[in-house]
Amino acid sequence: MKKIGVMFFIYLTILLLANISAENCTIVPKVSCAYNEIMGLSAPTNAHGELLSEGNYDYVLCCNFGTGSTDCSLGNVIIKLENRTNSHAEIPDYNNYDNPICYENLVCTNRDSCNPTELEVLSLTNLTDAHIGEAGDYPVKICCEGVCGTAQEFIDGQCVDEAIAYWADSDEGMIDGTYDVVVGSTQLMMVLKNSGLSEGTIVGFDIYEEDLMGYGYLRTINATVDSEGNAKALWTVTQEDIDKALESPLEGELDNFYFNVLDFSSNNIQFNLINRDSFCSSIGICRDYTSEEDCEADICSVASISIENNDGGDSCGEVFTDGNCQIWYTCSCEWVDGYCGPSKTDNLNCSDENPVVIGSCFYKENTTDDCEDGFLEYSWLGIYTWDSGNIFGSEKQGEPGWIEEPNGSGNWHYDPNDNFGACEQEGTNRIPCPVAALLPLFSIISILIALGIIVIIYYLLSKKKKSKTKR
């Protein structure tokens, strides 16, 4: 019996949670409505109704979705009342009564039972001259469509994704709270989603840092709305920006950074300034970064060093000429499976075709070395990923410069310089450790040397004092 009771309790809890999260309209005491009040009612069922503006009744129709608009200009009638208060009701399609009850974008009708896509908002005892009850109380169901989902709003007769503005990292993931910033290197992305504007529209992102004296304006960065109605702008934090943020006489911290774009304001973030020289003293290669944000930003510019250590000296960013083609490599640090590694993207531009991206090589590095001897020994494995635009079918079979990978897959890729083969290898390397990794050993040696010098000086002074005493 205990087991049955526990199972029943779990089931009831899940059922209640599902009901709480679902969009619905219920008749509740006015003091209990935590959402949007739509109309007044004399009782929870078998009730007379009134317009919300009358305010005579202790019960209301309470809906947990929408913005609360009861404007009737959209043809969004739920029911109609005979009088402004103490009134009987009728279905929305009848025209006997002149006091409509409306809400948001709802399109309502009466049915014996509502369709799966409809919400039963109320029920009536009759088609007209009716008393009002909650959903399920009476046979005449008031069934409504047009309930917008979570993070949606009703605009121009349809549900659209709600516009939102927020700070993001380089991968467009939303950031909040405190963010590490290296002046002159850190880039923050400002995102406006679902703007509703046409492609090509220019919007301005106005950046502020709020302080006790008001709202400190820093700068404006423009961006263009894309085909999906989104706009994104990159801000590289400069020393000028920091100085402006701190120029108020009552300002002491770099908090409450936000931006405005159109009529939207972003979330607030605060900066944790990091000294680049100090921070980068412990970063020699990509794997030395310990967070995804620092890795992807590569504020110490070590990606090219990591790549050149592993692949034999191909220079990142330099353009090479091979016949009629130009080849260049773009290098970055990439966060994969919880650690940071170097990634090299292969680009190709030949005189008779547009630039293409062949793919990218990621070096998965492993080590147990603690840098005690001043050098880091590690092994690496190259993993190649073809660019999504460089995957073709068997029609490329037999053409020069094309390879099938994996063998037998039917996937052919353009790879005239065998970048895939050069990447998919294993190797080991031995490089000097970052300066900061040597500091503990350096500090111990320095202390020992200092103590030795003190002992020698003390010895010499003591000897000199003794010689004076003998005289």
Q: Say what the pLDDT of residue 6 is.
A: 39
Q: Say what the pLDDT of residue 97 is.
A: 96
Cα torsion angle, 154, 156, 162, 163, sign: negative
pLDDT single digits (tens) 420-470: 998 999 999 888 887 655 444 444 455 566 566 766 766 666 665 555 455
Same domain, 395 and 457: no
pLDDT single digits (tens) 343-352: 999 888 876 6
Q: Say what the pLDDT of residue 58 is.
A: 94
Q: Is the pLDDT of residue 275 over 80?
A: yes
Helix (H/G/I), strand (E/B), else coil: 378: strand
Query: 457, exposed or middle or buried, with CB in 10 Å at 0-12, 13-18, 19+?
Result: exposed
Q: For residue 116, is the peptide bond before it cis, meaning its omega torsion is within 30 degrees of 0?
A: no
Same domain, 229 and 366: no
Same domain, 393 and 310: yes
Q: Compare 366 and 191 and report the one with higher pLDDT.
A: 191
> Please, which residues bridge with residue 87 across strands?
49
Q: Compare 59 and 251 and report the one with higher pLDDT.
A: 59
Domain closes at, from 243, 274, 305: 274
Distances (CA, A) of 337 to 206, 334, 340, 381: 36, 10, 8, 14
CA atoms within 13 A on the CB side of 467: 6
452 belongs to a structural domain: yes
Q: Say what the pLDDT of residue 131 is.
A: 97
Give the domain range for residue 410. Answer: 286-433
Same domain, 242 and 126: no
Same domain, 425 and 291: yes
Q: Say what the pLDDT of residue 252 is.
A: 60
CA atoms within 13 A on the CB side of 454: 6
Same domain, 264 and 203: yes
pLDDT single digits (tens) 293-309: 788 888 888 898 888 88
247 belongs to a structural domain: yes
1 belongs to a structural domain: no
Q: Say what the pLDDT of residue 17 is.
A: 36
Domains: count for the chain: 4
Average the pLDDT over each of 168-177, 182-191, 194-203, 439-448 and give the range with the smallest value.
439-448
Same domain, 414 and 468: no
Q: Is the pLDDT of residue 173 over 70?
A: yes
Q: Say what the pLDDT of residue 214 is.
A: 62
Confidence of residue 381 (pLDDT cuts 50, 70, 90): very high
Average the pLDDT over each of 6-10, 170-174, 206-210, 316-320 and give the range with the smallest value.
6-10
318 belongs to a structural domain: yes
Q: Select, from the ranges 188-192, 247-251, 273-277, the one with the highest average predicted confidence (pLDDT).
A: 188-192
Percent of the chain with pLDDT over 70: 81
Tokens at residue 188, please? 């923050």
Alpha-carbon span 373 to 3, nearest angstrom: 63
Q: Is the pLDDT of residue 71 over 80?
A: yes
CB crowding 81-91: b at 16 or more within 10 Å, else e = bbeebebbbbb
The CA R_g of the chain, rounded to the nearest whole Å, is 35
Q: Say what the pLDDT of residue 374 is.
A: 86
Same domain, 415 and 450: no
Q: Say what the pLDDT of residue 309 is.
A: 83
Q: Is the pLDDT of residue 43 over 80?
A: yes
4 belongs to a structural domain: no
Q: Say what the pLDDT of residue 213 is.
A: 65
Helix (H/G/I), strand (E/B), else coil: 308: helix
Same domain, 297 and 335: yes
Specify the residue for token string 């990794």. Answer: 437
> Please, which residues bridge with residue 321 across strands?
326
Same domain, 312 and 426: yes
Same domain, 295 and 332: yes
- With a CB cutoff of 8 Å and minimum separation 6, the contacts of 240 are none
State the amino acid at position 294 in one-letter form.
Answer: D
Paired sense of beta strands 202-211 and 325-336, if any: unpaired
11 belongs to a structural domain: no
Q: Say what the pLDDT of residue 174 is.
A: 87
2 belongs to a structural domain: no
Query: 22, exposed or middle or buried, with CB in 10 Å at 0-12, 13-18, 19+?
Result: exposed
Q: What angle do CA 140, 129, 32 make, to 5 degrees?
A: 70
Average the pLDDT over each of 80-89, 172-181, 397-406, 435-444 and give the range with the smallest value.
435-444
The mean pLDDT value of the chain amounts to 83
pLDDT single digits (tens) 108-163: 999 999 988 788 999 999 999 999 999 999 999 999 987 766 666 656 556 677 78
160 belongs to a structural domain: no
Alpha-carbon span 433 to 210, nearest angstrom: 42
CATH at residue 259: 2.60.40.3720
Helix (H/G/I), strand (E/B), else coil: 169: coil
Q: Compare 152 and 98 and report the one with higher pLDDT.
A: 98
pLDDT single digits (tens) 227-272: 989 999 999 999 999 888 887 666 567 878 999 999 899 999 999 8
Confidence of residue 4 (pLDDT cuts 50, 70, 90): very low
Percent of the chain with pLDDT over 90: 40
Same domain, 300 and 239: no
- Phi–psi pair at 268, nearest 5 degrees: -95, 140
Tokens at residue 191, please? 């995102």
